[in-house]
Structure formats: C-alpha cells, structure tokens
Amino acid sequence: MSPLRQQLLDAMELRGFSERTRETYLHWAIELARFTHTSPDQLGAADLERFLLYLLRERHLAPATCNQARNALSFLWRVVLDRPDTVADLPSPKVPRRLPEILSRDEVARIIAAEGKLPNRTLLMATYAAGLRVSEACHLRVADIDSERMALRVEQGKGGRDRYSLLPPPLLESLRLYWRICHPRIWLFPQRHADVPIGTGQAQKWFYTARDRAGITKKVGIHALRHAFATHLLEAGVDLRTIQGLMGHASLATTQRYLHLAQPNAAAERLNLLSGLFA
C-alpha cells in the first residue's frame, strides 16, 4: 500500500467516516491516478478540472456523481496533502433539482404483499415502517428490536449517528413470525451461508422484484420506501422535528424538502378549513 493511500485511509478513520464513504473516497483517488498516470500529490488544479470534465463529457456521469468525485478529491487535497489552495476554486457541476416519485400507501402495501419470501418481505416492511436507509436495514441486529419501548434501534447510521425509529405493532408481529421461522442469531437479515448481513445490492433486487410483481410502473428503488415513510408521516400531521429525528437527518433543511412531496390536499382534507364558507 502506498504511503499516500495509507494517509488517506488514516485521515478518514480518524474522522469517523463510514465504511461506504471511505470506499468511495478511495475509489475516486484511484480513478484520478489511473486517468493521469501520476500520483495525486504531483497534480494541480488544472489536472483536477481536466479529470472532472472527463467524467462529464466522456464517461457521461451524472452531475451528482461528479460532485461526489469532487468532494472526495477536495478532502484528499485539503486534509491529506494540506494544499487547500489547490481545490479552493474547483467548480461544482450543477445538479438539476428533481423531486423523487413518491409511492402512495396503497403502492407500498402492494409491493410488500407481492414479496412472497418471508425474509425479503420483512426487510421491505422494516425499511418502510422505520424509514431506514437500505444500508441501515441490512445491518439491523436482533438486539436492535426494543419491543418494550416499541422502538427500533439504528446503530451508526449516516454520519456515525445512532437513533431510534418507529416499531409499529404490525412490524413487530412480522418480525416475531420471521424470528420463529428463520431464527436469525446476530444479524436480523444475514446472508444465506454466512453470518454476515446481506448486501445492499441484494436488498435492492428484492425491492425491484416485488415492485414489478405488484405492477408498479414508477421508476423507483428501495430508497423510495424511506421517502414514502417521511412523506406519509408529514401528510398525517407529524411535525418536521419529529420526522427529522426518526430519519436521522443532521439538518432540518434536509427534512423540509418533504414539504414539497406531500399531497397538497392532505392537510386541507384533515382540517377542512373552508367548510361552510361557500354556498
């Protein structure tokens, strides 16, 4: 392992970066070195801009992916190489702001019902009912189920933060049935032939299969269950601060985007503010 690579890994470990972030940042450092055939510590701002243009023009990567690469390389130069001036004016590709498609309650129910295998169905149900990221759902442990407090513990979510989310009675009932039949030991959803959690790619495949069986034509992945969780809570009148805590958002601004996703008529139908004002 090169000294620079080890320095990058050490810097990320010291700052508590998640395993996924470490893999991503290391990936882009390697991609840059392959593109330039030069060690990153020998490169300058012009080389970085040339690399980002290559990602946009030739590899046709999405602006969000290019920004991910920019952030990774910015960390390398600012923190590891101690050359913040190199990336100070590095441009960020503009990311189009698109609202995600939201699954209705009926569509969520159809997707979950369409999954015939108990482990798969239980994972999809937990992802929606607790508003989990797919990595959080895959890394749930048996010990994370707190039936006395009706809460689901999410350990070391995004940003290295622990939190508790909802454990609705139907989910608890399904988890108990799943445990009686499948007897998971440590990880709630282990791989078939190893006592390690299933991968996020596998969970995504389960979702796609159930979505297609349910006849849902919206082009959404498993993360849509988390979006639906937040949107449906907001439509039910739950306040943003509570949703922020359940979702594990560091900033309320992240949670506020769901204001644009909730059905415009949901609150009005509950409050019925205009009742009797018009003949």
Three-state SS string over 124-149 comes to HHHHHHCCCCHHHHHCCEHHHEECCC
d(CA 224, CA 207): 10
Report CA dihedral (201, 206, 211, 213) to the nearest 10 degrees: 140
Backbone angles phi, psi at 97, to 5 degrees: -90, 110
Three-state SS string over 217-266 comes to CCCCCCHHHHHHHHHHHHHCCCCHHHHHHHHCCCCHHHHHHHHHCCCHHH
Q: How many residues does the chain have?
A: 279
With b meaning 16 or more CB within 10 Å and e meaning fewer, what string describes 214-237? bebeeebebebbbbbbbbbbbbee
| DSSP bridge partners of 152 | 145, 165
d(CA 8, CA 210): 40
Amino acid, res. 213: R
d(CA 188, CA 185): 7
Residues designated catalytic: 133, 158, 223, 226, 249, 258
Ranges assigned E (strand) in 77-227 = 145-146, 151-154, 163-166
